[in-house]
């Protein structure tokens, strides 16, 4: 029997576990429907409950597992790696440079950076910004985009800006785009884990909590894939970006109010 003294402690703990599990189910569902969004949703929601560094450490394994699944769900991985390795190298370098910022707590600036990243990504999605990338510019633009993405990843735990708009601007088929996103997010996750570990904000002992979040994320992703063909993708994406915009604005307000 749980003593009356333990109840005030156990109840908030169980509520917190429930919120984290529900967050990863929803984040996995979004990824199952759209092919992206798990770390973005997880960081946005968890960033309202804990420090960005804690949220980033929690999402490492769910992000890694779901992105590897996405990466190897189709053919052409080798060709994508050969084409996009300069971008991946930029992501690694940028993330390792910037990770000490989020790992150090970053205070209100880390929260503000997360809010700004979510707000910018949501605005880009709602306005359907597309930036066609001429093949002649890809050689120098790819590592530059990777480095900027890495800095944003290391500073906020969000992998999508500006990597997603850039990859959408390349001449990729739908299947290749999904795999390219999986490649970018997988590399970002690994680089973030290394960066957090180097800054002493993440250790092997912390994998237990992250591992516990894998099953809810996979369940949500499986559910999202099951319903993907039964819902309007355009409508779903619109409401997804509206919710992200609300989270981003809320985090910005929290940082400065």
Residue 2 makes CB contacts below 8 A (sequence gap 6+) with: 10
pLDDT value of position 105:
56
Asked if residue 13 has pLDDT above 50, the reply is: yes
From residue 30, alpha-carbon distances to 25, 136, 193 in Å are 9, 34, 23
From residue 119, alpha-carbon distances to 78, 114, 126 in Å are 33, 9, 10
Would you state the structure tokens that stand for residue 207, as one six-digit string? 């994998």
Range among 23-37, 123-137, 177-191, 192-206 with highest mean pLDDT value: 177-191
Residue whose entry in the numeric block shows the structure tokens 């971008």: 87
pLDDT band at 67 (very low <50, low <70, confident <90, very high): confident
Residue whose entry in the numeric block shows the structure tokens 């984040």: 27
Question: Percent of the chain, pLDDT > 90?
Answer: 35
* Helix, coil or strand: residue 34: helix
Spatial distance between the Cα atoms of 226 and 103, rounded to a whole number of angstroms: 37
Asked if residue 254 has pLDDT above 80, the reply is: no
pLDDT band at 257 (very low <50, low <70, confident <90, very high): low
Residue whose entry in the numeric block shows the structure tokens 């900027």: 148
First-residue to last-residue Cα distance in the chain: 43
Mean pLDDT of 223-252: 83
Spatial distance between the Cα atoms of 235 and 34, rounded to a whole number of angstroms: 11
Mean pLDDT of 156-179: 87
pLDDT value of position 158:
87
Kindly report the pTM of this predicted structure. Answer: 0.84
Asked if residue 135 has pLDDT above 50, the reply is: yes
Mean pLDDT of 27-52: 85
* Contact present, 98 and 153 (Cβ < 8 Å): yes
- What are residue 136's phi and psi, to 5 degrees? -70, -20
pLDDT value of position 194:
94
Q: Is the peptide bond before 124 cis (omega within 30 degrees of 0)?
A: no
Spatial distance between the Cα atoms of 244 and 231, rounded to a whole number of angstroms: 19
- Tell me how far the alpha carbon of residue 207 is from its chain's centroid: 17
pLDDT band at 2 (very low <50, low <70, confident <90, very high): very low
Spatial distance between the Cα atoms of 57 and 65, rounded to a whole number of angstroms: 14
Spatial distance between the Cα atoms of 111 and 33, rounded to a whole number of angstroms: 27
Nearest in space to 238 (alpha carbons), one of 159, 124, 160: 124
pLDDT value of position 160:
87
Q: 4-21 b/e with 16+ CB inside 10 Å = b? A: eeeeeeeeeeeeeeeebb
Mean pLDDT taken over the chain: 85
């Amino acid at each position: 029997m749980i003593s009356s003294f333990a109840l005030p402690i156990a109840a908030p703990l169980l509520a917190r576990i429930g919120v984290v599990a529900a967050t990863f189910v929803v984040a996995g569902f979004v990824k199952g429907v759209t092919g992206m969004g798990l770390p973005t949703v997880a960081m946005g929601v968890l960033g309202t409950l804990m420090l960005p560094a804690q949220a980033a450490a929690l999402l490492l394994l769910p992000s890694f597992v779901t992105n590897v699944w996405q990466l190897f769900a189709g053919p052409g991985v080798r060709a994508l790696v050969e084409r996009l390795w300069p971008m991946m190298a930029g992501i690694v370098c940028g993330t390792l440079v910037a990770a000490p910022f989020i790992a150090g707590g970053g205070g209100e600036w880390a929260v503000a950076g997360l809010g700004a990243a979510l707000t910018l990504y949501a605005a880009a999605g709602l306005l359907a910004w597309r930036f066609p990338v001429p093949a002649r510019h890809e050689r120098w633009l790819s590592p530059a985009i990777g480095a900027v993405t890495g800095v944003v990843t290391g500073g906020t735990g969000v992998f999508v800006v500006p990597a997603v708009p850039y990859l959408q601007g390349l001449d990729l088929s739908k299947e290749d785009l999904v795999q390219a996103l999986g490649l970018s997010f997988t590399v970002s996750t690994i680089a973030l884990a290394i960066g957090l570990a180097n800054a002493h904000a993440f250790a092997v002992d912390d994998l237990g909590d992250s591992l516990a979040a894998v099953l809810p994320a996979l369940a949500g992703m499986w559910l999202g894939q099951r319903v993907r063909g039964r819902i309007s993708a355009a409508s779903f994406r619109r409401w997804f970006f509206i919710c992200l915009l609300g989270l981003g604005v809320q985090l910005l307000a929290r940082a400065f109010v």
